[in-house]
Structure 1
Amino acid sequence: MKAEGANDFDVDNDTAITLVGIMRRAEHHIRSNSTVMAALDDINSGYLEKFSIGSDTLRGEIGVAGDATLSRALERLELRLSTGQSNEPWGWDTTTPCSWLLSSCCWATTTLRRCS
């Protein structure tokens, strides 16, 4: 598992195999997306620019990886459980954490329930 912590993202070949590398690759593509770039430009020029003090310009960045470490990658994963009898997974919904969460390579549990 320790090897998954290596950043093997190759910008020139657009490849990655490790979890951290895959996160860096995703971050690269998200930041290069035209919609994300347009939204960021609107935020920076239409809103944050007003909060600049003197020559210090306040600017924002949009992304997902932040500190792309193995622990961070594992924290963002979710485990969905299913009985295999239907297409309704057990796991995570957008309002209440449920199922199992990976956090720093340790299992943490919360209430398991069918998510709607």
Structure 2
Amino acid sequence: SLRAAPERVPVAALACVLAFTVANKVLSPQFLCWTFPLVALVVVGRGALQRITGILTLGAIALTQVEFPYLYWRMVSLEPGPVAVVAARNAVLVGAAALAAVTVWRLPRDAGAGG
């Protein structure tokens, strides 16, 4: 639980924000701005999975910056290059969300928790 590993609170919060972002039918670039403070805490935290989650999220942020505003109108026209950038961004986001969820799932359990 997070009580047993409070240093994992940032990755748990990031998992929630990424799950919201991935599950939402609209992905506004603003949603990824919500991850900035969490990513900053996650990439300097302990644990390789946690750091990889942060790095993947940074990659998704970078791809989003390339897509919007630079490739937006070409994306709307469904040109292959911008579509590939968005598909890559979405895949990276799903991977980051899944990895964050795995990191939270693998938290140590409270020894005294009664169920």
TM-score normalised by the chain length of structure 1: 0.30
TM-score normalised by the chain length of structure 2: 0.30
- The structure richer in helix per residue is 2
- The structure richer in strand per residue is 1
Whose relative contact order is higher, 1 or 2, with alpha carbons under 8 Å and at least 6 apart?
2
